[in-house]
A and B are shown apart, each in its own frame.
Chain A
Amino acid sequence: MKAELHMRSAFSFLRGASTPEALVARAGELGLGVVGLTDRDGVYGAPRFLKAAKAAGIRAVTGAELTMEDGVVLPVLVESLTGYRHLCRLITKAKLRGTKAEAPVRWDDLPEFAEGLVVLTGDEEGPVRRALARGDPGGARVAAERLVRVFGEGGVYVEVQRQLRRGEEVWERALRDLAGALRLPLMASSGVSHAVREDRAVMDVFSCARHHTSLDGAGRLLAANEERCLRAPSAMRALFGDMPEALAGTERLAERLEFSLEDPGYEFPAYPVPAGETAESFLRKVTMAGARSRYGHLGRAHHRQLEHELGVIGRLGFSGYFLLVWDIVNFCTAANILVQGRGSAANSVVCYALGITACDPVACRLLFERFLSEGRTSWPDIDLDLPSGERRERVIQEVYRRWGPDGAAMTANVITYRGRSAMREIGKALGFPLDVLDRFSRLFGGGDFPHTLELREQILKAGLPAEHPRLGAAVELYGRMRGLPRHLGQHSGGMIICEGKLSGVVPLERAGMEGRVVAQWDKDDCADLGLVKVDLLGLGMMAVLQDTLEMCQDRGRPVDLASIPKDDGATYEMMQRADTVGVFQIESRAQMATLPRMRPECFYDVVVEVAIIRPGPIQGEMLHPYLERRQGRAVVEYFDERLKPVLERTLGVPLFQEQLLQIAMVMANFSAAEAEELRRALSFNRSPERMAAVCEKLRAGMGANGTDPGVIERVAKAVQSFAVYGFPESHAISFALLAYASCWLKVHRAAEFYCGLLNNQPMGFYAPATLVQDARRHGVRVRPVCVQSSGWRCGVEADGSVRMGYCLLRGMTREEGERLERERGRGEFVSLADFQVRSGLGRGRLRSLAAAGALAGLSRHRREAQWRVEVPRDPDDLFAWAETREEGPLEMMTAGERLGADYETTGLTLGPHPMKLLRPGLAGVTVAAELAGVPAHQRVRAAGMVICRQRPGTAKGIVFISLEDETGTVNAVVYPDVYEKNRLVIAEERFLEIEGAVQTADGVTHLRAWKVRALRTPLPGVLPESHDFR
C-alpha cells in the first residue's frame, strides 16, 4: 500500500507532533505515493503540505478531522472541489458559531455539506469505536448507518488501524463484521500523529499540555507506544497481511480522491468598471489621468514606461488587482487617511500614477521587473502603509464592508514554539520547578535570538542541577519542539479578499479582536495558492506625520509632504550628527552609530542608509566596504567595467535587489523575467537544484559575453550571497521618504513633530521620557499637563511650546480626558472646588492630577492641591465652587519628590533628569556630553538610566546598551564574555554604571564595557520603560 490517508500534523495544535513538511519528507523516504493530511478542525497545514508534497513528487490529499457536538471525531477526505468548498464552509460555520476554544460541528450541518466528501469511521475517537468501547455493538451499527445516510454508501469507509496494542483484534473483528453487514469498504491506516518514532516524546508532552498534567501524572493519557508514526508500504503489507481488503480499500480510496488543493477555487473579486469599459481599459484611463496629474507633461520615457507596464499588467490579467488597490487608496484619500505603498510596488510607474506609491520610479531609474514581469503567476504584492490605530482600523472595516464578512479575512500568523515557550511546556511536563523555568526565560535577555549561551548551560544557569535525571530529555525535546506550530494568531495587516464566499476557499475563524475574522492560512500560504492579499500595515510614523501635518495646518504653517525640499542642509546636518531620536528608521542604535560615518548629503544617501543597516548587508559584510569607499579610504571598483552604470550609485557595492537583476541583464544578457527568476531562485527558500541551474545559466550567459573566467566567478559568488540579503531599492526609497520627511519636520516643525510623537505612543525606539528630553535639547519647551490648558492629546501652544495632554497621564481614560476638555470649553475652572465638581472625576484621578502638578493653576503648589482635592464636595451644593483658598499644612515637594511624582503619574519629568539628582554621589563618573572629548582607549566610568538594550541577531552576541543622563546618551557595547557574566544585571536593572574603554572612530564614540554594575538609587520604581531587546 503506497498511501497513508489519515495523518495529523502539528497544525492539529497539541494533537500532532510533526510539521507537514516533516511528514512529507518521511513519506518520501518510505516510498509513499499518496498522503492525506487530516488536521483537527481545519486545513491549517494543507498549503505547506501540498507545497512539500509537490516538491517531493507525492500526491497530497486534503482532509480534516471534525470534532462533532457529541465529542466524537470524524475524519473526512476531500474528493472534489465541491467537497473542498463544503469542508471549508462546514468548518467556517462551526468556527464562527462557537467559541475560540470550542467550536464543534453539528450533526445537522453535515447533510448540507456532505457532497464531495468521504468519511472514515475513525480511530478510538470516532463514533463507531466509541460505541464499541461502551460495549454497545448496536450503537456502533447505528453510528455507521448514520454516516451512510449522510455521506451515501460510497462515501463511508470503515477505518482499521493497527498500532500494535493488545486487543486491537477485537475491535477489528467488530469493524469487519460491521463493514460486512453494511457492505462498506474497509481501509487501513496508521492514524499518524508523528512522522518518526522519536517524535512520540513530543506527542506525550503535548498530551500533558492538553490535559494540564505532567508526564509523571499523565498515566495512560500518554501514548502506549510509538506506533502512530508513518510506515513503509512493505511494513503495512506485512502488518495487514491477513486483511488485504483493507489495503486494497485504501488504494481504491486514494485513487478516487482526485482533488488537489493547487486549485482551491479562488476567484479574484471583479472591480465594477463603468459600462463599456474593461478592467484593462479602465486601468489605462485612470493611470494616464493620474500620470498627467503627477508629471504635468508626459515625456517619451514616461509614455514608454507606462505602456510597458500596462501591457505587462494586462497580459498577466492583473488590471483588476491594481484597480482594487487604487480603490482602497481612494477611500483613504477621501477619508483623509495618509496612505503610502511600500515594497517593490514602488518600482511601478503605474502605482505612482495611481497614487499608491510616492516615489517616482522613472526619476529614480527603478526596475519595474523587480515588481512584475512576464511569466509571473502569483499576484503582485502591494503593501499599504497607514497611520496605526483607529485610522487603519477604519480602512480594514471598509474592506469588510465592501466584500462582506464571508468575502474578506485577515491572514493568519502561525505562532510557533520558540525558546521560552518550548522550554516552559517541556519543563511543566517534566516537572521542573516553575522558578527554574522563569529564570530560564529571563536568561534569554530578550528575544529568541540564536543562543549565545549553550542550551544545556542555560538550563543549568536557570538552576537545574547538572545531574538532574531529566536534563537530557529536556535538551532532546527542546530541539524537537522548537518551530512547531503552537497556536494561530492574526497577521498585523494582511487581508485576503475573494469574489463570492472566501469561506469556500479557506475556513475562517473568529479573531481575537471584535469584528474581525481570520483565515486559517498565513500570508505565504495564501500567496502560494494564488489568493490576493493586500497588506494594510499600521505604521506609527504615518500617524505621527499625519498628526504633525494637521497641527502645522492648524497653526498656519502648512506643509505639503510631497513638496518638502529634498536638499535641506539643516536636515542633513542633523542626520550627520546622528541627532535622530524619534525619526523614522534611522533612530536605532546601529543607525545612529553609522550616520556620522555615512554623513548623508543627499536623498539617495538616506536611501542607502536605510538599506545598509539591515541584517543582510551586515552579515554579508557590505557595510564596511561601502563606508570605506565613501570615506575615500578604499578605491571604488567594479567587478566589470560594464557594471559601472549599475553599481555606481552604491560605489560598486551591490546593495539592492534591482542591482542583482541588472547585473544578470548586463553581464549575461538575461531578460528581465529571467533575472527575476534568478533572484527568486537564490532567495531565502532556495532549492539546491534550482539554484545550481540558474547559476549555471548565469555563468553560461557571462561566458557567452566574453567575460573573463575570474570575473565570472566573482560575479557569480557575489550574486549568490547577495541575493539572500539584498533589499528592494524601491522599498528603501519609500522608507527613506518617511525618514527624510520625519527628519525635516523635526528640524523645521519641531514642536508639532514632538507633539505628534507623544500623541502616538507607544511607537519607535524611545519612551516619552527620552523624547521629551530630546525635545528640550532642541529648544522645544514642553509644558506639563494643566487642567486649564491641556486636552486629551498633546498640543502646540501659541508660543510654540508643547503642552502635554492627558493621554500621557497614567490611568487616565480617553473619555475622562475628553470630558475635561469639553468642560473647560464651557468656561475656565475658577477654583479647585469648581474643577472638582465640574470634572466629575473620582478621588484617585484627582489625586493623580494634583500629584502631577496639573492643578497648578488652581493652587499654589502640588502639595496644596493634594490637600485640597481630598475635601469632600457635594455636587449639589450650589456654592461648592466658592472655596476659600486657605493654605494647606503640607510642605512643598522637594526636587526629588517632584521627580518621583512626575514619573509615577506620567512616566517622564520636565524637571531635572534623575541622574542629575544622583550626580553628587557619583564621583569620578563621566557624563555623556564629555565622553566624546575623552581620548580613545582611556578607561572611564559612565552611568545612567537604561533607555535601550539590544542584542541583534547579527551582532554575534554583542549587546548594545544606551544610558541616558542629564547631558545626553552614552552608548555602550557589551561583548559576550562581559554579557555572560552580567546577564541578569543587564537584563534587570534600570540604572547601570558601566566601566570600560572609550572607542572613537569617525566621530562616533562608544564605551566598550569591561564591568557592568547596578547603580542603586533611592529613586522611585515607576521609571519609564526602556526599549529592551525588541
Chain B
Amino acid sequence: MHLVIQLPGFPLQALRRWRDDPPDLPLAVTDPVGHRHPVLAVNGAAWRAGVRPGQAAVQALARCSGVVLLSRDVRQEKSAMQALLQAGAMFSPEVEATSAGVVTVGVGRSRERDWEVLGARAVEAMRACLLEARVGVGPNPDLALLASRRARPVLVVTEPSAFLRRIALRDLGPPSGLLAVLEGWGVRTAGQLTALPYAETADRLGPEAARLWELAAGRVERPLRCEVGEVEYREGMDFEHPVETLEPLLFVLRRFLDQLTLRLRATWRVAGVMRLTILVEGGEPVERTFTVPTPSADAGLLFRILHTHLETLRLERGPSGVVLELFPGVAEATQFQLFESALRDPNRFGETMARLLALTGEGRAGVAVVEDSHRPDRWRMEAPAFQRVVGVREAERDMTSGLPLHRFRPPMPVRVVVEGWRPVRVESAAVRGRVVESRGPWRLSGQWWEAGGGWRCEEWEVAMVDGSLWRLRREEGEWYVDGCMESAVVRSGEGMWA
C-alpha cells in the first residue's frame, strides 16, 4: 500500500505558515516571473469570489478587487516541502518527493494496517507544522495520489476500478498534447478512456496513450523514486507564547544545533554558514546570516556565535518563533603564501566581529568598501569574508588625481567667507586664514530619486597663506573641510597644482 500526503494550494500554504490572515480575506499567490503573473493558488474566500488558479493577476483583480496578491516564495515552499518529507519519513523510510507539495510513502510494511488511522496521523503531523494536508491511500502510488486529490482529508481506495471511473483524465497527469487530443475526442474521465479499445487507441496515439490507458485502468505499478533531493539542515519552531528572556531561546537553539551537527557529522560535512531567523509577533522576521570563519560541525563553537549575537540583540517584541538553518561549507584547507599570515584563530576573530557588530549594529563594523558612486568618500561596511577569495579590484587609473588627500572623517564644519563665488577666507579649528588661490567649484549630485531629493555638493581646493592645501565642500548651505593635501608646498611661479 502507498500513502500520499498532499498539501493543496501548496504555494499559498507555504506562505501562510508565517501569516495570520483572517479566513475571509481573499488570498491568491501569483508567479512573479510568469507571463502576466498567473495565479498559482487561492484560498476559499478568493475561490468564492471567482478567482481561479491560471488566471492572470489582473483578471484575478477584475474578479475580486479585494483579493490580496502574494508573490510566490520559493524559499518558503522549500521549507514546507522539507517538513512534508520529514512527516513522510515518520511512516516509512520509502519516501518519494513526488512533486511540489506531494510526497508518496510506501507503507506496505507498516505495522498499522488501519489506513484511515494512518492517514489521520499524517494529517495531524502536517497540522503540527501548520500545514493542511490531504491524504490518499491506495494499492499503488498513482492511485494513492489520485485518492489524495479527492480526500477530505483522508481517502482510502478499496475498489480501484470503481474509484478510477470518475477520475478526471487531467488528474492522471497526461502530457498536455495527448490530453488535448483526448479532450478533443470528448474523453475526459478515466472511465471514458478505458471504454476505448486499448490496441486501437495505442495504435493511433502511441505509447504515451497506452500508458495512460493502463494508468486509467489502475494497472500501472511503479517503484518509488526514493531520492528526496537536496538535504536541508533546517529546524524551526513557533512558540506558544512569545519568549521574554534569552534562556529559553538559547536552550532551543542549542538543541537545534545538537541535532543538526549530528546530521552534518553523519555525512562528513561541516557548517559554513548559519542563518538564524527570529520570528517576531506582528512584525517582520529578524534574519541574520553568520559566516563561520572556519567551517565546523562543533555544536559548541556554532552556539557561541549565536550566543554572542543574541546577547546584545534587542527586539521590540518577544520572539514568537525561531528558524535555524545550517549550510554545509568546505572544511578549511588553505595554503598561505610565503609572506601571508593567517589569523591565529579565525573563529575567535569571527566571534569578536560578531560581538562588535552586535554592539555597534549592522553595517557599523567590518571592512570598509568603497561604493560605486560619484559621491566622494561614499563607502559602506561589510562583514569580513572568510571563506571566499575576494579579488582585489584594481583601482581605476585616475589621471586626474593630484596630491594625496588626508580626509577628515567626519568632515569638519568651517566658516568660509566668499567673494563673488570663490572662497577667500577660511576659519575653523584646523585651518584659518586667507585663501591665496582657489580652484573649483566641482559640482556633484546624485540619488535624486530618493525621498528628500538626494544629495548635491560643491567642492573647492584652496591654498592658504602658509602654503597648506585644503579641500572644502559646501553642502546644503554649510561649508566643511574635507581634508588637507599631503606635501602641501606651493612653489611660486609653478602654481600649487604642479
Please give the residue numbers on chain A whose beta carbons come within 8 Å of chain B beta carbons, in ascending order.
132-133, 135, 164-171, 200-201, 204, 215, 219-220, 222, 224-227, 429-430, 433-435, 438-439, 442, 463, 469-470, 472-473, 847, 851, 863, 866-867, 870-872, 889-891, 893-894, 897, 901, 984-985, 987-989, 1014, 1016
Which of chain A's residues have a CB closer than 8 A to the CB of B397?
Answer: 135
Q: B30-38, B134-142, B346-354, B380-388: which one contacts chain A?
A: B30-38
Does the CB pair A863–B450 fall under 8 Å? no
**Are B65 and A897 within 8 A (Cβ)?**
no
A224 in contact with B374 given A890-B185, A893-B186, A984-B61 (CB within 8 Å): yes
Q: In the complex, which residue of chain B has the Cβ closest to the Cβ of A870?
A: B204
Q: Which residues of B contact A215 (CB under 8 A)?
A: 449
Cα of A115 to Cα of B267 in the assembled complex, Å: 77
A1016: chain B residues at CB < 8 Å are: 50
The smallest beta-carbon distance between A833 and chain B, in angstroms, is 14
Residues from chain B with a CB closer than 8 A to the CB of A219 are 371-373
Contacts A201-B449, A890-B196 known; 11 new A-B pairs at CB < 8 A: A135-B399, A167-B398, A169-B497, A204-B449, A220-B374, A429-B449, A438-B58, A872-B203, A894-B186, A984-B61, A985-B62
CA distance A135 to B398 in the complex (A): 9
| Residue pair B373, A988 in contact (C-beta under 8 Å) | no
The 7 closest A-B pairs by CB, nearest first: A167-B400, A219-B372, A984-B62, A870-B204, A469-B451, A224-B374, A473-B449
Which one, B3-11, B155-163, B329-337, B440-448, is touching chain A?
Answer: B440-448
With contact pairs A469-B451, A897-B186 given, residues A1014 and B63 touching in the complex (Cβ less than 8 Å): yes
Out of B30, B181, B204, B450, name the residue touching A871 (CB < 8 Å): B204
Any A CB within 8 A of the CB of B197: yes
Main secondary structure of the interface of A (DSSP, over half): helix
Shortest beta-carbon distance from B222 to chain A in Å: 27
A989 to B372, CA, bound (A): 47
Give complex CA distance A867, B65 in Å: 45
Contact B58 A132 (CB under 8 A): no
Interchain nearest-CB distance for A39 vs B (Å): 25
Cα–Cα distance between A224 and B343 once the two chains are bound (Å): 41
Residues 401-454 of B at the A interface (beta carbon under 8 Å): 401, 439, 441-446, 448-451
| Bound-state Cα–Cα, A439 to B448, Å | 26
Per the bound structure, the CA–CA distance linking A429 and B200 in Å amounts to: 59
B459 CB-CB contact with A under 8 Å: yes
Flag if B443 contacts A225 (CB, 8 Å). Answer: yes
Residues of A contacting B322 in the complex (Cβ-Cβ under 8 angstroms): none
- Chain B positions 46 through 67: 1 when the CB is less than 8 Å from some CB of chain A, otherwise 0: 0000100000111101110100
Query: Which A residues lie within 8 Å of B450 (CB)?
Result: 469-470, 473
A129 to chain B, nearest CB (A): 11
Q: How far is the CA of A1016 from the CA of B451 in the complex (A)?
A: 44
Q: Which residues of chain B are within 8 angstroms of A463 by Cβ–Cβ distance?
A: 69
**B286 interface residue (CB < 8 Å to A):** no
Contact assessment for A438 and B57 in the assembled complex, using a CB-CB cutoff below 8 Å: yes
| Max count, chain A CB within 10 A of own CB: residue among B50, B400, B448, B449 | B449
Q: Which residues of B contact A439 (CB under 8 A)?
A: 57-58, 61
- Please state if B400 and A166 are interface contacts (CB–CB under 8 Å): yes
Chain A CB within 8 A of B248 CB? no
Q: Number of contacts between A and B (CB, 8 Å)?
A: 126
- Cβ of B229 under 8 Å from chain A: no
**Please, could you name 15 A-B residue pairs with CB atoms under 8 Å apart, sorted by A?**
A165-B443, A166-B442, A168-B400, A204-B449, A224-B446, A226-B445, A227-B443, A433-B32, A442-B58, A870-B205, A872-B204, A889-B196, A987-B62, A989-B62, A1016-B50
B195 at the interface (CB under 8 A from A): yes
Question: Would you give the shortest CB distance from A198 to chain B, in whole angstroms?
Answer: 10
Contacts of B371 in A (CB 8 A): 219
In the complex, what's the smallest C-beta–C-beta distance from A764 to chain B, in angstroms?
Answer: 27
Q: Is the CB of B497 within 8 A of A220?
A: no
| Given A435-B32, A893-B186, CB of A169 within 8 Å of CB of B439 | yes
Decide: B439 and A866 in contact? CB cutoff 8 A: no
The residues of A that contact B442 with a CB separation of less than 8 Å are 164-166
Q: B: which residues have CB within 8 A of A?
A: 30, 32, 36-37, 50, 56-59, 61-63, 65, 69, 71, 181, 184-187, 195-197, 200, 203-205, 371-374, 397-401, 439, 441-446, 448-451, 459, 497
Question: CB distance B186 to A890 under 8 Å?
Answer: yes
Interface centre among B62, B401, B441, by most chain A C-beta atoms within 10 angstroms, is B62
Contact (Cβ within 8 A) A472 B36: no
- Knowing A438-B36, A872-B203 touch, does A867 contact B185 (C-beta < 8 A)? yes
**What CA separation (Å) do A871 and B56 show in the bound complex?**
38
CB contacts (< 8 Å) of B449 on chain A: these are: 201, 204, 215, 429-430, 470, 473
Shortest CB distance B200–A (Å): 8
* Chain A residues near B185 (CB-CB < 8 A): 863, 866-867, 890
Whether the pair B372, A1014 counts as a contact (CB closer than 8 A) is no
Q: In the complex, what's the smallest C-beta–C-beta distance from A989 to chain B, in angstroms?
A: 6
- Chain B residues whose CB sits within 8 angstroms of the CB of A164 once the complex forms: 441-443
Kindly state the separation between the CA atoms of A663 and B9 in the bound complex, as whole angstroms.
73
Give chain A residues whose Cβ lies under 8 Å from the Cβ of B61.
Answer: 439, 984
Check B32–A133 contact: CB distance below 8 A.
no
The CA of A893 and the CA of B188, in the complex, are separated in Å by 13
Q: CA A293 – CA B142 in complex, angstroms?
A: 84
A736 and B441 alpha carbons, distance in the complex (Å): 68
Query: How close is B405's CB to chain A, nearest CB, in angstroms?
Result: 11
| Separation of A40 and B448 alpha carbons in the complex (Å) | 27
- Chain A residue at minimum C-beta to C-beta distance from B50: A1016
Q: How far, in Å, is A862 (CB) from chain B's closest CB?
A: 9
Contact of A220 among B69, B372, B448 (CB under 8 A): B372
**Minimum CB–CB distance for A399 against chain B, Å:** 41
Q: Are B459 and A901 in contact (CB under 8 A)?
A: no
In the assembly, what is the distance between CA of A433 and CA of B33, in Å? 11
Closest to A165 in B: B442
Q: How far is the CA of A40 from the CA of B4 in the complex (A)?
A: 64
Which residues of chain A are near B441, meaning CB under 8 Å? 164
Known contacts A435-B37, A1016-B50; is A889 also within 8 Å of B445 by CB? no
Query: In the bound complex, how far is the Cα of B62 from the Cα of A220, in angstroms?
Result: 42
- CA A170 to CA B444, docked complex, whole Å: 18
Q: Is the CB of B57 within 8 A of A435?
A: yes
A residues in contact with B398, CB < 8 Å = 167
A442 to B442 Cα, complex, angstroms: 45
- Give every chain B residue within 8 A of A989 (Cβ-Cβ): 59, 62
- Complex: how many Å from CA A470 to CA B449? 6
Please report the C-alpha to C-alpha distance between residue A220 and residue B65 in the assembled complex, in whole angstroms: 42
Of all chain A residues, the one with the shortest Cβ separation from B451 is A469
Contact B32 A434 (CB under 8 A): yes
Q: Are A871 and B203 in contact (CB under 8 A)?
A: yes
CA distance A438 to B442 in the complex (A): 41
- With beta carbons under 8 angstroms apart, the residue of B62, B69, B197, B444 that contacts A225 is B444
A166 with B459: CB separation less than 8 A: yes
* CB <8 Å contact, A847 and B184: yes
Q: Please name all residues of chain A whose beta carbon is closer than 8 Å to the beta carbon of B197 when the two chains form the complex.
A: 889
B26 to chain A, nearest CB (A): 15
A660 to B63, CA, bound (A): 51
**Contacting residues, chain B, for A851 (C-beta < 8 A):** 184
Q: How far is the CA of A985 from the CA of B71 in the complex (A)?
A: 22
**Taking the nearest CB of chain A, how far is it from the CB of B437, in angstroms?**
13
Asked, given contacts A133-B399, A220-B374, whether A225 binds B59 with beta carbons under 8 Å apart, the answer is no
Nearest chain A CB to B73 CB, angstrom units? 14
A231 to chain B, nearest CB (A): 13
Q: How far is A170 from B451 in the complex, measured between Cα atoms in Å?
A: 36
Among residues of B, the one whose C-beta sits closest to the C-beta of A474 is: B449
Give min CB distance, A314 to chain B, whole Å. 61
Knowing A170-B400, A201-B449, the reply to whether A984 touches B196 (Cβ < 8 A) is: no
Beyond A224-B444, A439-B61, A863-B185, whether A1014 also contacts B32 by CB under 8 A is: no
A434 to B31, CA, bound (A): 11
Contact B373 A220 (CB under 8 A): yes
Interfacial chain A residues near B57, Cβ < 8 Å: 435, 438-439
- Per the bound structure, the CA–CA distance linking A987 and B36 in Å amounts to 14
Query: For the complex, what is the distance from the CA of A988 to the CA of B50, rounded to whole Å?
Result: 14
Q: Once the chains bind, are B443 and A988 in contact (CB under 8 Å)?
A: no
